[in-house]
Amino acid sequence: MNNLITPIVTINYNGREDTCDLIGSLIKSGDLFSLVVVDNCSPRENEFENLKKEIHEKFGIIFSDSQFNDPSVTACLFGPFENGSSVFLLRSSNNGGFSKGTNIGLRFAFSIFPKTEFIAILNNDTIVTSHFLRNAISPMEDNKILAVMGTILYYGYDHPYIWSIGGRIDWVKGQGIHEHKDEILDISSEKRDVVYRTFISGCFTVFRSSALKSIGLLDESYFFAGEEYQYSVDLCKKGKIAWVPSSVIYHKSVLGIGNGSSHNIKSLPWQWNAYMVKICFVNKNKAFLFRKFWHLLLRAHINVRIKKQYLSSGITKKDFSLFRSSLFKNINRISYDSNDFLAFKSLFPAEKKS
């Protein structure tokens, strides 16, 4: 394999149409790429087989069997392009969450490209632009920079609305803050080669391989989201992370909401997930006294502001009570997984198919 090619890992979950759109944009970008697609046990019938078929039909890729010694992978295919780029398709045996699925792809990419200096993660519901990868990597000639993200704009709008250009960690809120989110970015006036951050988005991150390995890849104690907060904190202890304005991609999200295409972030299960991320993130990273003070703030926030907001939006008192009691029961957790999420989701039959 050509170790000069930077591998890119993406997750497919009921999103083969988006994944094919991403591949099409990668082809047009002018960058050589090796895309590792991990189908994270998509529940849609024949998703993996149909993804393989659609990639073949749209791009002429002929897949052959590949090998990867990982019991969590039930299928592994290799599809080369004529120019040296390639697509690998992996199917996981279960959906253990975003971090676990991505780590499957990262370990596979490292096994195929053991000498790669850089490795990237990229949401499958994105569209990349010309030389996005080359532009992102360019500032990383500075060895102190351990990871970068590009400019992420909302897809399908007449103006370049910012989805993410990174930002900072807010420990009171227990999350990463996206600076200038939903504002219009004047890319032509953005002259800086690199802007240092304390938080970068997992929608698109390029890592220095040695740095990513040093922190143990993505933290699997977060089921969905939170891993980007954690690796931002961990990498900042070792070096620098940054936003590269000249590397531009588009994210298929709704302006003002910011969700991707695979889930409804306004539903109670996904709101529960968002608060569990905050809980685990603070508990994993802050000292005892801060945690206890933060727990009091969280309880007050949910009992007053969130209760009023949710009940006025039509959520029943019973459902809100389940939501609140589950969070308070888990307020000292430092990890949670797909079983925890599914157990909470099962309390809301209307959400089972969301």
CB atoms within 10 A of CB 206: 25
Domain CATH number, residue 22? 3.90.550.10
Closest CA to 107 of 122, 96, 121: 121
**Which range marks the domain in which residue 109 is found?**
7-251
Which residues, including other chains, have CB under 8 Å from residue 289's CB and lie 6 or more apart?
A: none
Residue 241 falls within a domain, yes or no?
A: yes
Q: Are residues 277 and 184 in the same domain?
A: no
Q: Per the structure, how many domains does the chain have? A: 2
Q: Residue 71: which residues within 8 A CB-CB, separation 6 or more? A: 93
Q: Give me the residues paired with residue 195 across strands.
A: 243
Of 251, 279, 303, at which residue does a domain stop? 251
User: 65 is written with which tokens?
Assistant: 């069997």
338-345 and 268-285 helices, crossing angle to 10°: 140
Same domain (yes/no): 168, 308: no
Per the listing, tokens 């029943």 go with: 316
Q: Could you tell me if 145 and 286 lie in one domain?
A: no
Is residue 104 situated within a structural domain? yes
pLDDT tens-place values along the chain, 354 residues long:
444 689 999 999 999 999 999 999 999 999 999 999 999 999 999 999 999 999 999 999 999 999 899 999 999 999 999 889 999 999 999 998 999 999 999 999 999 999 999 999 999 999 999 999 999 999 999 999 999 999 999 999 999 999 999 999 999 999 999 999 999 998 666 678 999 999 999 999 999 999 999 999 999 999 989 999 999 999 999 999 999 999 999 999 988 765 554 555 678 998 999 999 999 999 999 999 999 999 999 999 999 999 999 999 999 999 999 999 999 999 999 999 989 999 999 998 765 443
- 262 occurs within a structural domain: no
Q: State whether 19 and 134 are in the same domain.
A: yes
Q: Where are the beta strands (DSSP E) in the chain?
A: 7-12, 34-39, 64-65, 73-80, 86-92, 118-122, 126-128, 145-154, 162-164, 167-170, 175-178, 195-197, 204-208, 240-251
Cα–Cα distance, 292 to 283 (Å, whole number): 9
Specify whether 116 is located in the same domain as 144: yes
Tokens of 198: 């304390």
Using CA atoms, how far apart are residues 149 and 207, in angstroms rounded to an integer?
9
* 3-state SS assignment for residue 145: strand
* 235 and 294 belong to one structural domain: no
